[in-house]
Structures are given as structure tokens and as C-alpha cells.
Chain A
Amino acid sequence: MKPELEQLADSVCAKYDYDAVNLLPILQEIQRHSPRNYISEEMARIIAKKLDITESRVYDVITYFSALSSEPRGEVIIQICNSTTCNVNNNRDLIRWFEEELGIKVGETTPDNKFTLIFTHCFGACDVSPAVRIEDDVYGMLTREKVKDLIAAKRGAVV
């Protein structure tokens, strides 16, 4: 077992008294501190042990909630809304712009593991629809130019 995984798990679980009732916030916090935005199999095993619950319960929760992932993802997650209002407002251009700018299709991660582009359901930004969520921030009423700038800014943020 990797000591840094142990350490992360311990620091988060301790905050929540090692009580499995808090599994959801524990997983969310651990995922936030994981570079690839996911809970690895090894980490899931560690968490199960620390909280004295079965691994299958940990996986049940990870796979149930869309904010949690059991697969590695990009460092920056871009979620395009594909719900009712955004469809009515024709989000197809927006989808294309992001796909072109990132050079990937929805559902994929860029080869440098920087970005993951996915569809998501309404995140309550229908007043600026078609909307996109980049990490925790919401953007709407975008143009081709603005999409380019947003991605460039996020790219710049790493180097």
C-alpha cells in the first residue's frame, strides 16, 4: 500500500471520526485531493478498511453518484449540460466548439490528462443556457471565441 494514499485517507477519515455515516463527504474530499479526480481501487480498499465497511459498499456509493468516479479523469472536468433547456436552446454548437478546441469527443480525456469533457444533467444555469460547468464554475452565453479563451486560461493555469 502506498503510504501517501494511506496518509490522505487517514487525514480525511479522521476529520469525520472514521464514521461510515460520513462516507459521501469522505469520498468527495478524497477525490478532490486526488490528481486524476477519481477514487482508485487501491484507495477504495484503504477507505473500506479504515471505516470498517465492505469494499462493495464503497463501490456502490462511488458508482451511484455522478460526482464520484472510479476511473481516472482529467485534472479539469468540463461538463456540458444536456438537459431540457440547453437542448431547446440548441447546445450543439457549444458541444462542437469544446470538442474542436480540445481535440476530443464528449466522454474523452485529452492525451495529456488535462481535460475531461462529459455531458451532465441540468445544473441550474438554465437562465444562461446553453451552459457549461468547468470545475465548479458555471459559464453560459458562450461564443466560439470565449470557449477558446476559457480553455487557454485553464491550460495556462498548470504551467
Chain B
Amino acid sequence: MKQVHFITELFDKYDGRSLQAYLDAGGFTALKKLFDISSEAVLAEIDASGLQGRGGAAYPTGKKLRQARAEKAARKFVVCNADEGEPGTFKDRELLKCNIYQVIEGMVIAGICTQSQEGIIYVREEYTNMHDEIRAAIAECYKHNYLGKGIMGSPYNFDLKLFSGAGSYVCGEGFAMCESMEGKSGRPRSKPPYVKQEGFLRLPTLVINTETLSAIVSIIKHGADSFRRYGTEKSPGTKLISISGKVNRPGVYEIPFGLTIREIINDLAGGIRNGKKGHFVQIGGASGGILPERLWDTPYTYEDLAKAGLSVGSGAIVVADEDNSLLDYLKVVQDFFRHESCGKCTPCREGNRQLRFIFDRIINGTATAADYDNLEIVLDVMGKASLCGSGKTEVVPFRTAQRYFPELFMTKECFVAKKAVV
């Protein structure tokens, strides 16, 4: 069982545009079920599924919804995070394109379960060519009473609109997202209070990933047990991955947790192009870890990746072959973070400046022992003292690269000396 279709069940069952076709394919039955069995029962089902947030942080979704529900306020918001800013990631794009109604259904369910009446789909600006279709789908749902007042004849109300990002990676972070929706530059706030308590307009806000919402709908429809049929004990269910780079069939695949990286590359993505040898992958976006070819038999699960110093992150897998240099790759990663750093906190802002200088010297072969020492200090401070996840996780690709390719991160003399000791 390699590729599965649990969350993506309807991907080729309808064109992704017509509400009627979605209904014919079983759309909005999860919402109907919610009305039949109560939101408490729905939350219990989500708990039982073991679903973890697919936006990167992997927080248990059931718990998160309960926390959101506990917040008391006259206005509460649910925001669908469709900012998808991690380089190498394009699975939310497919969910929006092939099955937008399921995302909307997930939003209504999340709204009712958390007693929130206002929803926003925050779609990245880079997906502007999809904005009109998303708006059209929302309008269709209003027209047929799947949004608005007294949804499907129930006592529940839920409003929904699209908000366009404007090209900022950091706006994928909850607070930065709220700031940008308030007409400000998207810089994270310090916590507490948390987004769930004081987010958009300082009101309780649930920020939840597009895939998480889609998964909720499938889980309610088919039951937690059918979700848990896939995956492992600690990583139940399925995951959408975006695989790209030097493979024959790049794309989005839904997989059960537990396939190995090698199976994903060879059996789903058609292997490395042109018969070349694999070199490394980066898993989870630009902030994800680097895994060398020799460890590609690692299973793709939260627990196995954690053991290797990596995480699932955004679900991206970027594959590099023997022609790709890891140092050049890391330089691209660093350029990305340097450009996207919002500049609010010193460790990330200045750390990125220093990393650039150090990397330039490593790449052109003029780095000294002091540079490698400073690299340690900078990464340490960034990882520990950055204000938001951006600066904190930026160190992951470098740390994993150091762990698996130590020879790239020391002067030749030092490397030889160390080898002699071991």
C-alpha cells in the first residue's frame, strides 16, 4: 500500500469546482453528521483519530480545537492557513484546487466546534490565479446555505471570506498572519497571550492548516478507525507530501505514515532522474532537516524522523542527486531566511547576516577555524533565542547537515585531526 486516497478521496471524483458535484460525491455529509451527533462527539472522534496539525508544529488537533472552544468572547475567528510558504511545498495548492469545498466544510465544522462564527481563508499571494475560484466556491456555498445564517437549517451561523497574503513567508506564523490581516507589516508578537487567546483584532483566533481541515472532514465522514488503519501507532493516518527535485515524477502524493524515504522516492516519485545517484533530501521545507542517501531507509513518521533530528514539517521532500552540492544548497536556504527574516528580533536578524558571511567563506574555501567556531555560536543563539519559529527552526538544516556531513564544516586540518582521534 503505497499511495492512498483518504483525504484526497474526491480528487478525481469531481472537477473541484461544482458544489453540486461535491454534494453528489458525498460532500457536506460530515457537517450533517455533526448536526446528528453533536460537536462534543465530533471532537471525541478527532481526538481518537490522533490527528496532528499538518502546518508544521504537529500539535494534536483535537486538543487544539478544545482549547479554542474554551475561549470566551463575543467574536471568535477561525483562520485557514493556506499561506504555504515553505519552499518545496505545494500540497495545500492541490487541496484548494481539487477540493476547495472540503476545505470550506472543514472550516464550518471547526467554526461550530469552537463556537466561532467568522472564518477567513488566508491564501498566499503567489496563488492569486486561484483566488477567484476560491471566492466563487465560497459564493456558491452562501447561495446554497452551506455558509451564512442557519446553515443547512441548523441554528448555526458561519461567515467566510478569502484574505490574500502579499508575499511574506513569516506571515504563515499565526501572529504575523493576524498582524497582516490588521493592515500592518507581518511581524510576530511575543507570547503569551497566544493567538488562540488574542489573535486577529486581539480576539480569540484558531489558526489551522488547510490539510488539517481537509483531514477533519474525512475523519468525521469515515470514522477515526478508518483513519488509523493507516500509519503507525505514534503517527496515525495519512499525510500529503510534496516531492520535487531530481525525481522522475514530482508531485503531491497521499501516503500512509511509515513508508521509507526510499520507497517514496523510488516507488511513488519514479526514482532519481537519469539514473543518477541520490545525495540528500531536505524534509519539511527550508526549515527542515537534511538526510543523506545512506539513511533513506528511515520510515517517514514523526517518531523516526525525530530520532534522526528531523521533522515532518510542511510535508515537503526535496531530492538532490550527486550533481548537487550540499553547501550550495544550504546557501540557497540561508538566502531564503535572510530575505524573509522580519527583523524584529536580534538573534534572527543579525544571525542571518553573520551566517551569510560565514557561508560565503566556507563555499569559497577561505573559512578559518574561527569561522567554524562562530558558526556554532550563531546557530546556538538563533535556535535558542529567536522570537518566532522562523529563526528557531532555521538552524535545523544546518545542524542536520553538520551531523551527517561533518567534513563540510571544519577546516581540513581540523577534520584530519578529529578523524585521527576517533
Contact = CB atoms under 8 A, between A and B. Distances in A.
Q: Do A and B come from one complex?
A: yes
Interface of A: 20-28, 57, 60-61, 63-68, 82-85, 87-89, 120-129, 133, 136-138
B282 A84 contact: yes
Contacts of B342: 64
A65 B186 contact: yes
A24 B84 CA distance: 19
A85 B328 contact: no
Contacts of A67: 125, 165-167
Given A122-B88, A127-B242, A24 B128 contact: no
12 contacts: A28-B164, A66-B168, A83-B88, A83-B286, A83-B336, A84-B286, A85-B87, A85-B88, A87-B329, A88-B329, A120-B167, A129-B244
Contact of A124 (B127, B328, B333): B127
Nearest to A58: B183
A85 B339 contact: no
Contacts of A28: 125, 164, 166
B340 A121 contact: yes
Interface of B: 84-90, 93, 124-129, 163-169, 180-187, 201, 242, 244-246, 250-252, 282, 286, 316, 318-320, 324, 328-329, 332-333, 335-336, 339-340, 342
Nearest to A51: B183
B269 to A, nearest CB: 10
A134 B62 CA distance: 41
B332 A87 contact: yes
Contact of A64 (B86, B186, B336): B186
A145 to B, nearest CB: 22
A63 B166 CA distance: 11
B318 A84 contact: yes
- Interchain residue pairs A-B with the least CB separation, the first 9: A23-B183, A64-B185, A65-B166, A66-B167, A123-B126, A126-B244, A122-B87, A67-B167, A83-B87
A55 B130 CA distance: 32
Given A83-B87, A123-B126, A138-B129, A25 B164 contact: yes
Contacts, number: 131
Contacts of B87: 83-85, 121-122, 126
Point out which of B85, B87, B168, B332 has the most chain A C-beta atoms below 10 A from its C-beta.
Answer: B87
Contacts of A23: 183-184
Nearest to B90: A124
A61 B329 contact: no
A88 B245 CA distance: 6
A128 B251 CA distance: 9
A83 B169 CA distance: 12
B186 A126 contact: no
A60 B87 CA distance: 25
A136 B125 CA distance: 9
Point out which of B181, B185, B336, B340 has the most chain A C-beta atoms below 10 A from its C-beta.
Answer: B185
A67 B93 CA distance: 19
A125 B124 CA distance: 13
A127 B332 contact: no
A127 B242 CA distance: 8
Given A23-B184, A123-B126, A126-B244, A84 B252 contact: no
Point out which of A21, A28, A67 has the most chain B C-beta atoms below 10 A from its C-beta.
Answer: A67
Contacts of A61: 183-185
A84 B88 contact: yes
A125 B87 CA distance: 10
Point out which of A64, A83, A137, A138 has the most chain B C-beta atoms below 10 A from its C-beta.
Answer: A64
Nearest to A87: B332
Given A24-B166, A28-B166, A124 B184 contact: no
B90 to A, nearest CB: 4
A124 B91 CA distance: 9
Nearest to A29: B164
Contacts of B319: 88
A86 to B, nearest CB: 9
Point out which of A20, A61, A133 has the most chain B C-beta atoms below 10 A from its C-beta.
Answer: A61
Contacts of A133: 126
B244 A127 contact: yes
Contacts of A120: 167
B126 A83 contact: no
B303 to A, nearest CB: 25
A121 B336 contact: yes
B129 A137 contact: yes
Nearest to B320: A88
A68 B184 CA distance: 13
Contact of A125 (B86, B90, B164, B336): B90
A34 B17 CA distance: 32
A111 B382 CA distance: 43
A4 to B, nearest CB: 24
Point out which of B86, B93, B129, B167 has the most chain A C-beta atoms below 10 A from its C-beta.
Answer: B167
B90 A88 contact: no
